[in-house]
Structure 1
């Protein structure tokens, strides 16, 4: 009963404000205000207000909301743990093995070191040799130069 009275008062006040706005020749705004002010009365007449007030004052409903919130919290906690790398033992072992294999593969494919006379260079040997491939550590030298240029 109290909720219906409050909704009716809010609607009446809104319609009064809409009338004042229309008097000031702001018809579009007055129409919008009138539409908003009719919503509470519509909710009362459809029974939504009774249904909502029954939910708000029912303790079992609040216990249900608390259970839903705790379930959501548990789901989010498990997702956060998974993202940090807290998977199963098999998953961790597989990840370690993959990282070990990735670390060994570039070292095995690296070109063997060239042994030659001291002070000899490709230019002194006739220049017929191809340019030597950059070492794996030299791949990021251009990126490092750009970062140093910008002071990073």
Structure 2
């Protein structure tokens, strides 16, 4: 009976505070206070106060034992070791996934140097300047007319396949 009186007194006090907040035109705060004010009555009417009391008592007992019990400290140490092992294995798996992707092409041979801009030629190995352009001899080769190849296609897709072949040739594929 005392639990019911306390629960409803807390609810009434919370509703009063919510009413004051609403009167001051602070409706968001009033709504929050009203939501919190409904909790004690809801806990009592649903029968969860004994559960909350049991959980609170068990947490209090655990906290007191935490200070004095080596068994609890051992358990916490085991939990910490377990968490560290799980995190470590996750990090190792990520590094192997990243390292495996990089070691695959390196084992097959060095990839040709590629420019960041589509359609441009890579600078020769001797030039390290980022603004260096390709030698003049490479430019006419890239601009060679494709008129001779387009006539050889009988399937009607001549220009499209020629473009694809040109791109593959530039990439060294």
Q: Could you say which TM-score interval applies, normalised by the shorter chain?
A: 0.3 to 0.5
Query: Which protein, 1 or 2, shows the higher relative CO under an 8 Å CA cutoff with sep ≥ 6?
Result: 1
TM-score, normalised with respect to structure 2: 0.39
What TM-score do you get using the length of structure 1 for normalisation? 0.42
